[in-house]
């Protein structure tokens, strides 16, 4: 996380310098709305940056797109950097998470095109099945509102807990109606869930963090989120008003191309699922 903080600081500092130069007498045509430079996209390392780098290496030049990829480990800076213009776009999140982020932070980020789904999974280094979790077992879950609710819904869908009727995308452990195994929940940052596996009995881990830790969701998860009718597809996003940037349109087309679909299917073998 220390390297991530340094990168975030550098990116934000670059954004501040750009804004400062714009305020010192440049014309409107030279402002942040200029689309002649490379398209800078913030992304989680896996699979988002991997997919973008595949495009950069194999498809972008032919499409006339100059693409620059900046990797971030966290789920906050990619949106704040997109909001302040430090980057042009981001690729790491789903709609419920973005809705919650915009509401709480007053940002104006909007989706452009949905690319893939990373099924959320329950993992353990201590048991081989969810049924083998003992009474009183501790389960780590992401501490952001959307992914925590998503985690609890995963556990409920697999019979480990029962949630109160009508609970939506803001469910917390307080919304559990029945907990037959008396599970205890440890709330940690999403990026830390996979690292917590040494200290807890099981953890619900986002797909990108699972893959980064060499876990294979389709094989290693005790239970795995269903892709059917899922609202959690990951998409390319920009600040509202930048949807018509020709560079963004080129990238959106490439992200949903047959070549990228094949790349995702071949590389991730069901752990990442194309949504187009």
- pLDDT (tens digit per residue) in 154-200: 999 999 999 999 887 789 999 999 999 999 999 999 999 999 999 99
Reading the block at residue 130, the tokens are 């969810």
Reading the block at residue 50, the tokens are 């991997």
Whether the CA torsion 273, 129, 208, 114 is positive or negative: it is positive
Paired residues of 110 in beta bridges: 238
Instruction: Output 16 or 199, whichever has higher pLDDT.
Output: 199
Share of the chain above pLDDT 90, in %: 78
Taking alpha carbons only, the member of 22, 164, 156, 171 closest to residue 86 is 22
Cα radius of gyration (the chain): 20
Q: What is the pLDDT at residue 270?
A: 86
Report whether pLDDT(266) > 90. Answer: yes
Q: What is the pLDDT at residue 271?
A: 87
Reading the block at residue 39, the tokens are 């398209």
Phi/psi at 129 (5° precision): -150, 160
Taking alpha carbons only, the member of 189, 210, 177, 212 closest to residue 140 is 189
Q: What is the pLDDT at residue 33?
A: 53
Q: What is the pLDDT at residue 8?
A: 41
Q: Are 237 and 94 in contact (CB under 8 A)?
A: no
The mean pLDDT value of the chain amounts to 88
pTM of the model: 0.74
Beta-strand runs (E) in 132-229: 138-142, 162-163, 176-178, 184-188, 202-205, 223-224
């Amino acid at each position: 996380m220390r390297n991530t903080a340094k990168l975030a600081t550098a990116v934000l500092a670059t954004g501040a310098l750009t804004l400062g130069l714009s305020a010192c007498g440049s014309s409107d045509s030279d402002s942040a709305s200029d689309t002649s430079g490379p398209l800078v996209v913030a992304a989680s390392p896996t699979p988002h940056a991997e997919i973008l780098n595949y495009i950069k290496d194999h498809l972008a030049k032919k499409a006339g797109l100059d693409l620059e990829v900046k990797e971030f480990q966290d789920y906050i800076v990619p949106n704040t950097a997109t909001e302040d213009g430090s980057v042009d776009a981001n690729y790491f999140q789903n709609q419920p998470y973005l809705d919650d982020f915009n509401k709480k932070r007053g940002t104006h980020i909007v989706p452009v095109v949905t690319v893939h789904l990373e099924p959320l999974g329950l993992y353990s280094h201590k048991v081989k099945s969810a049924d083998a979790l003992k009474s009183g077992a501790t389960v780590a879950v992401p501490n952001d509102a959307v992914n925590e609710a998503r985690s609890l819904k995963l556990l409920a869908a697999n019979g480990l807990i029962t949630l109160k009727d009508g609970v939506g995308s803001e469910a917390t452990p307080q919304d559990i109606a029945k907990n037959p195994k008396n599970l205890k929940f440890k709330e940690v940052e999403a990026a830390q869930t996979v690292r917590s596996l040494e200290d807890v009995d099981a953890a619900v881990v986002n797909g990108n963090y699972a893959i980064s830790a060499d876990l294979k969701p389709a094989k290693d998860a005790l239970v795995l989120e269903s892709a059917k009718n899922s609202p959690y597809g990951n998409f390319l996003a920009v600040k509202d008003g930048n949807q018509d940037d020709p560079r963004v349109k080129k990238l959106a087309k490439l992200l949903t191309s047959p070549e990228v679909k094949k790349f995702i299917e071949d590389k991730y073998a069901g752990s990442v699922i194309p949504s187009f």
